[in-house]
């Protein structure tokens, strides 16, 4: 029996660590905080980390599933709390392109559109090549809010019963929030200056085929 005890303990611990890493976004946070910050004014290209205050582009926002807040990016998680440890049954994040003002310049954060939310309860749905670590500091506190959240994220269809022991959490990136982004930086022409001689270039941070875009934030004032 002892021959199997320690391998079994090691297996259980590895599963617990993997679940915790998924729940608390350790991978995304490590990708951000292990890298030094680059100033926008330095114009460094390639893999960079930039940080500053988030700002909208052209007044574009998305609507968060629980709070209904107009935000730049949201992360929503639906958990099944039937067992001792919550099990994620759905995670959805969505966003629009936004800017980072670091006090030395502006960086445009862009990513591929994730498309329309699929009308099936897939476990994960978000923009390709994007990972995020946004504090999940809002909860569905009422039955109506919970129903609206699980319907909007297609965990259930309109009119279905809400499963027991289900909860929903949400995090939003709002204008003015402090945000750190790791991605591939380059310079692109500003499309609004099309036709001008020697148009200004925008500093853009995006994902590359082998370089995901990682977004981590905290609330303004925290």
Q: What is the pLDDT of residues 137-181, one digit of tens each?
A: 999 989 999 998 888 888 888 888 888 889 999 999 999 999 999
CB < 8 Å & 24+ apart, contacts of 159-166: 163/80, 164/82, 165/80, 165/81, 165/82, 166/78, 166/79, 166/80, 166/81, 166/89
pLDDT digits (tens, 9 = 90+) for 22-44: 444 445 455 556 678 999 999 99
So what's the pLDDT on residue 13?
Answer: 46
So what's the pLDDT on residue 17?
Answer: 39
So what's the pLDDT on residue 51?
Answer: 94
């Amino acid at each position: 029996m002892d021959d199997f005890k320690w391998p079994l303990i090691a297996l259980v611990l590895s599963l617990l660590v993997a679940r915790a890493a998924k729940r608390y976004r350790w991978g995304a946070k490590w990708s951000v905080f292990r890298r030094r910050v680059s100033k926008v004014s330095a114009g460094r290209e390639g893999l960079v980390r930039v940080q500053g205050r988030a700002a909208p582009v052209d007044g574009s926002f998305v609507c968060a599933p629980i709070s209904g807040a107009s935000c730049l990016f949201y992360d929503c998680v639906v958990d099944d709390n039937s067992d001792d440890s919550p099990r994620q049954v759905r995670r959805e994040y969505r966003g629009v392109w936004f800017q980072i003002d670091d006090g030395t310049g502006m960086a445009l954060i862009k990513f591929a559109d994730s498309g329309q939310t699929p009308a099936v309860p897939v476990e994960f749905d978000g923009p390709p090549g994007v990972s995020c670590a946004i504090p999940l500091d809002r909860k569905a506190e009422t039955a109506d809010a919970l129903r609206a959240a699980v319907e909007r994220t297609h965990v259930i269809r309109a009119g279905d019963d809400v499963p027991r022991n289900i909860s929903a959490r949400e995090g939003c990136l709002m204008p003015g929030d402090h945000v750190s982004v790791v991605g591939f930086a380059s310079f692109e022409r500003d499309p609004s200056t099309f036709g001008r001689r020697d148009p200004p270039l925008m500093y853009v941070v995006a994902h590359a085929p082998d370089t995901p875009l990682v977004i981590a934030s905290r609330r303004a004032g925290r």
